[in-house]
Amino acid sequence: MVSSFKQYIEQHHLIKAGQRILIAVSGGIDSIALFHLLRLSGYTISIAHCNFQLRGKESDDDESFVKFLASEYDVPFFSNHFNTLQYAEDHQLSIQMAARELRFQWFDELKTQYSFDKIALGHNQNDEVETFFINLFRGTGLTGLHGILATRDHFIRPLLFATRLQIVSFIKENNFVYREDSSNKSDKYLRNRIRNHLLPLINEIHPEGGVKQIHNSIVKVKGSEQIYKQCIEEKKNLVLKKTGDTIVIDLKKLQSLTPIETYLFEFIHPFQFNETQIAQLLNCFKSSGKRFFSPTHQLLVDRNEIIIEPLHEKKNDVIYIDKTEFELLQPIHLTFKIIPFKKELPIPTSSHIAYLDVEKLIFPLILRKWQKGDYFYPFGMNKPKKLSDFFIDNKISVFEKEATWLLCSAENIAWIVGKRLDNRYKINKYTSKAFVVEMKMD
């Protein structure tokens, strides 16, 4: 194991002689294996441990364990306590993304303060395969299928040569102690569901080494991706022009490319436009003035060009919601689900939950702020009402009005979020499926 570890580091030029390595050690089996392999290989190492304070005493016990490990082998030890829940709330992030941001920010601070050359992370081939499937399910394209990179900037992953089975064998053979993270058994997150259910099934189908074979395929994807990116960059230089923050795509040149869907995806996906919008855009080349919005940019079809510009802060208020999406964290926290509807099914009366008839909706739905002239058909009424009159009648303050969001089906308001449902989209006796939207009061 040590020999293979050294060979992988040399092959990928991860560490140079004399460099100082900071190891991220959680106390779990992967990071403990990484620590001992780096130690046995003779590298100059230090330990960094993050206490995210998410598992109470278990988190504190993890920290004590890693601190004792560092003391036992006389290795410099750094630890930090994070209020992860508060950070996630303040920055409107999931717990996982909040923890990721916090630890990487701190690692960078340690690197600068103590002049570390590299920061080592304990990802292995199983993690890489899990990431492959996560990105496959998300439809990220070829770039998302390259798995985890062995090195990016000053972060290195020297364990990517090994499967978790090999790591477990290494730990057991040497009687190394590690900590079990109880949250890994939970199926709350997609990664855990893949780890706990999909990978065991793959190994059952391919007992000779299913994870290894997928890893080998990922390696081939990485090589193909390099060729693919070179081609994309060549065509991008012919089709795109950048002036300041403005991107201009020549429509005539774009339409000469085949397959146009793939090229268009690669050209505008970096600006956070989704696949549904890209499909719609392909049908709008002759519709001058057609606009699309992503969380960060706006796109305009203008005669013979597609123009992309960053959104100004005031305009960053249009979000598209696909039928397949199940959660939106920003700018407000909404969850979505489609359920079979039966007459006897009780419908919650909470103003924070909307039951909409799926068949009446046009996807993607649009989440936006209200505009002058907006109107809707209040629930229980068959005639329209101006939104401005609704605000006045319900004594909604200016601040609350400015914070109000509208969930729209095409041009029509389907739900004044958290306030009133539109009568045209209500559930009735003919409804077969309900699109349930819940506003979470985080």
CATH assignment at residue 350: 3.50.40.10
Whether residue 227 lies inside any domain: the answer is: no
Q: How far is 34 from 25, CA to CA, in rounded Å?
A: 8
Whether residue 427 lies inside any domain: the answer is: yes
Q: Is 217 helix (H, G, I), strand (E, B) or coil?
A: helix
Q: How far is 176 from 2, CA to CA, in rounded Å?
A: 14
Residue with tokens 């909706």: 361
Whether residue 226 lies inside any domain: the answer is: no
> Do 24 and 107 share a structural domain?
yes
> Do 90 and 213 share a structural domain?
yes
> Do 136 and 34 share a structural domain?
yes
List the pLDDT tens digit at each of the 442 positions of the chain.
999 999 999 999 999 999 999 999 999 999 999 999 999 999 999 999 999 999 889 999 999 999 999 999 999 999 999 999 999 999 888 888 999 999 999 999 999 999 999 999 999 999 888 888 888 887 776 777 777 889 999 999 999 999 999 999 999 999 999 998 777 777 777 888 988 889 888 888 887 778 888 888 888 888 888 898 899 999 999 999 998 888 999 999 999 999 999 999 999 988 988 888 888 888 888 777 788 888 888 888 887 889 898 876 544 478 999 888 888 888 889 999 999 988 777 788 888 999 999 999 999 999 999 888 999 999 989 999 999 999 999 978 665 787 799 999 999 999 999 999 999 999 988 899 999 999 987 6
Q: How far is 114 from 45, CA to CA, in rounded Å?
A: 12
The CA-to-CA distance between both ends of the chain, in Å, stands at: 47
CA distances, 279 to each of 143, 240, 381 (Å): 19, 19, 36
> Do 147 and 112 share a structural domain?
yes
CATH code, 106: 3.40.50.620
Query: In terms of residues, how long is the chain?
Result: 442
Residue with tokens 């490319």: 257
Kindly report whether the global pTM for this prediction surpasses the value 0.75.
Answer: no
CA distances, 45 to each of 70, 103, 121, 159, 252 (Å): 10, 18, 13, 16, 56
Closest CA to 255 of 230, 292, 284: 284
> Do 110 and 127 share a structural domain?
yes
**DSSP tag of 371:** -
> Do 323 and 307 share a structural domain?
no
Whether residue 351 lies inside any domain: the answer is: yes
Whether residue 236 lies inside any domain: the answer is: no
Whether residue 276 lies inside any domain: the answer is: yes
Residue with tokens 């079809």: 301
> Do 254 and 400 share a structural domain?
no
59-68's contacts with Cβ under 8 Å and 24+ in sequence apart are 61/179, 62/26, 62/27, 62/179, 62/181, 63/27, 65/27, 65/177, 65/179, 66/25, 66/26, 66/27
Give the Cβ contact number of residue 336 at 10 Å: 18
Boundary residue ending a domain (188, 221, 254)? 221
Residue with tokens 């039966």: 342
> Do 181 and 282 share a structural domain?
no
Boundary residue ending a domain (278, 294, 313)? 313
Whether residue 401 lies inside any domain: the answer is: yes
> Do 275 and 390 share a structural domain?
no
- Indicate the number of domains in the chain: 3
Whether residue 209 lies inside any domain: the answer is: yes
> Do 259 and 200 share a structural domain?
no
Q: How far is 48 from 46, CA to CA, in rounded Å?
A: 7
Q: How far is 206 from 217, CA to CA, in rounded Å?
A: 14
Asked if residue 346 has a cis previous peptide bond (ω within 30° of 0), the answer is no
> Do 206 and 271 share a structural domain?
no
Give the Cβ contact number of residue 174 at 10 Å: 11
Q: Could you list the residue range(s) of the whole structural domain that residue 434 is in?
A: 318-439
> Do 358 and 253 share a structural domain?
no
Boundary residue ending a domain (221, 256, 290)? 221
